[in-house]
Amino acid sequence: MLTVDEVGAIPLFSGLPAGELERLARMAADLHLSAGGFAVHEGGEAALFAVLAGKIEVVKTFDGIERTLGWRLPGTIFGEVPIALGSGFPGGYRAAEPSRVMRLELQQYYSLAAVSKDVAQKVSALARERMGGLQSITAEPQKPRVTLVGHRWDTACGELRRFLARNQISFNWLLPDTADAEAFWAGRPAFDGPVARLADGKIMENPAVRDLAIRLGLQTRPRGTEYDVAIIGGGPAGLAAAVYGASEGLRTIVVEREAPGGQAGTSSRIENYLGFPSGISGDELASRALQQARRLGAEILVTRAVAGIDTATHDLHLDCTDVVRARSLILATGVTWRRLGIEGFDRLIGKGVYYGAARSEANATHGQDVYLIGAGNSAGQAALHFSGHARNVTLLVRGPSLADSMSHYLIEQLRAKSNVKVRLRAEVQAVHGETHLTAIDILDKAGLDKTGNEVSRHECGGLFVFIGANAETEWLPADVLRDQRGYVLTGDDVKKAGGWSQARDPYLLETSAPGIFACGDVRLSPVKRVASAVGEGSMAIAFVHQYLAHEAKRGN
> For residues 196 and 204, what is the distance between their CA atoms, to the nearest angstrom?
5
- Using DSSP bridges, classify how beta strands 47-53 and 77-78 pair: parallel, antiparallel or unpaired: antiparallel
Domain boundary among 467, 496, 530: 467
pLDDT in tens, 307-319: 999 999 999 999 9
Sheet strands side by side (includes 516-518): 299-301, 252-255, 229-232, 329-331, 516-518
Q: Using an 8 Å Cβ cutoff, are 84 and 131 in contact?
A: yes
Confidence of residue 450 (pLDDT cuts 50, 70, 90): low
- Tell me, yes or no, whether 475 and 435 share the same domain: no
Q: What is the pLDDT of residue 142?
A: 61
- Tell me, yes or no, whether 231 and 174 share the same domain: no
CATH code for the domain of 405? 3.50.50.60
414 vs 176: which has the higher pLDDT: 414
> For residues 441 and 443, what is the distance between their CA atoms, to the nearest angstrom?
7
Q: What is the pLDDT of residue 264?
A: 77
Q: Is the pLDDT of residue 326 over 90?
A: yes
Domain boundary among 449, 467, 485: 467
Asked, for residue 73, whether it belongs to a domain, the answer is yes
> For residues 65 and 288, what is the distance between their CA atoms, to the nearest angstrom?
15
Q: What is the pLDDT of residue 454?
A: 86
Confidence of residue 140 (pLDDT cuts 50, 70, 90): low
CATH code for the domain of 99? 2.60.120.10
> For residues 326 and 304, what is the distance between their CA atoms, to the nearest angstrom?
16
Arithmetic mean of pLDDT, 341-352: 89
- Tell me, yes or no, whether 82 and 135 share the same domain: yes
CATH code for the domain of 201? 3.40.30.10
- Tell me, yes or no, whether 14 and 134 share the same domain: yes
Mean pLDDT of the chain: 89
**Could you tell me what percent of the chain has a pLDDT over 70?**
94
| DSSP codes of every residue in 387-444 | TTTSSEEEEEESSS-STTTS-HHHHHHHHT-TTEEEEESEEEEEEE-SSS--EEEEEE
Sheet strands side by side (includes 92-95): 38-40, 92-95, 56-62, 65-72
Half-sphere exposure of 511 (CA within 13 A, CB side): 27
CA dist list (Å): 491 to 76, 159, 496: 56, 38, 9
Q: Which domain, by its residues, includes 444? A: 346-467
- Tell me, yes or no, whether 92 and 156 share the same domain: no
Asked, for residue 191, whether it belongs to a domain, the answer is yes
Q: Using an 8 Å Cβ cutoff, are 523 and 490 in contact?
A: yes
- Tell me, yes or no, whether 259 and 173 share the same domain: no
User: Which amino acid makes up residue 409?
Assistant: Y
pLDDT in tens, 183-238: 776 666 566 779 999 988 898 999 999 999 999 989 999 999 899 999 999 999 99
- Tell me, yes or no, whether 451 and 417 share the same domain: yes
**Could you tell me what percent of the chain has a pLDDT over 90?**
56
β-sheet bridge partners, residue 51: 101
Q: Using an 8 Å Cβ cutoff, are 199 and 172 in contact?
A: no
Asked, for residue 400, whether it belongs to a domain, the answer is yes
pLDDT in tens, 400-423: 999 988 999 899 999 999 999 999
For residue 353, report the phi and psi dihedrals to the nearest 5 degrees: -110, 130
Confidence of residue 13 (pLDDT cuts 50, 70, 90): very high
DSSP helix/strand/coil, 300: strand
Q: What is the pLDDT of residue 277?
A: 80
- Tell me, yes or no, whether 451 and 369 share the same domain: yes
Asked, for residue 340, whether it belongs to a domain, the answer is no
Confidence of residue 47 (pLDDT cuts 50, 70, 90): very high
Confidence of residue 439 (pLDDT cuts 50, 70, 90): very high
Q: Of how many residues is the chain composed?
A: 556
> For residues 307 and 320, what is the distance between their CA atoms, to the nearest angstrom?
9
With a CB cutoff of 8 Å and minimum separation 6, the contacts of 156 are 150, 193, 194, 206
> For residues 284 and 54, what is the distance between their CA atoms, to the nearest angstrom?
35
Asked, for residue 220, whether it belongs to a domain, the answer is no
Using N-to-C axis directions, what is the helix angle for 282-295 and 236-247, rounded to 10°?
Answer: 20
Arithmetic mean of pLDDT, 452-478: 89
Q: What is the pLDDT of residue 49?
A: 96
Q: What is the DSSP letter of 363?
A: G
Asked, for residue 165, whether it belongs to a domain, the answer is yes
DSSP helix/strand/coil, 361: helix
Q: How many domains does the chain have?
A: 4
- Tell me, yes or no, whether 362 and 278 share the same domain: no
Asked, for residue 341, whether it belongs to a domain, the answer is no
Arithmetic mean of pLDDT, 63-74: 84
- Tell me, yes or no, whether 45 and 112 share the same domain: yes
Asked, for residue 277, whether it belongs to a domain, the answer is yes
Domain boundary among 162, 181, 215: 215
- Using DSSP bridges, classify how beta strands 92-95 and 99-105 pair: parallel, antiparallel or unpaired: unpaired
Q: What is the pTM of this model?
A: 0.80
- Tell me, yes or no, whether 321 and 205 share the same domain: no
β-sheet bridge partners, residue 349: 353
- Tell me, yes or no, whether 360 and 315 share the same domain: no
Confidence of residue 273 (pLDDT cuts 50, 70, 90): confident
Confidence of residue 469 (pLDDT cuts 50, 70, 90): confident
End-to-end CA distance of the chain: 43
Arithmetic mean of pLDDT, 483-490: 95
Q: What is the pLDDT of residue 265?
A: 74
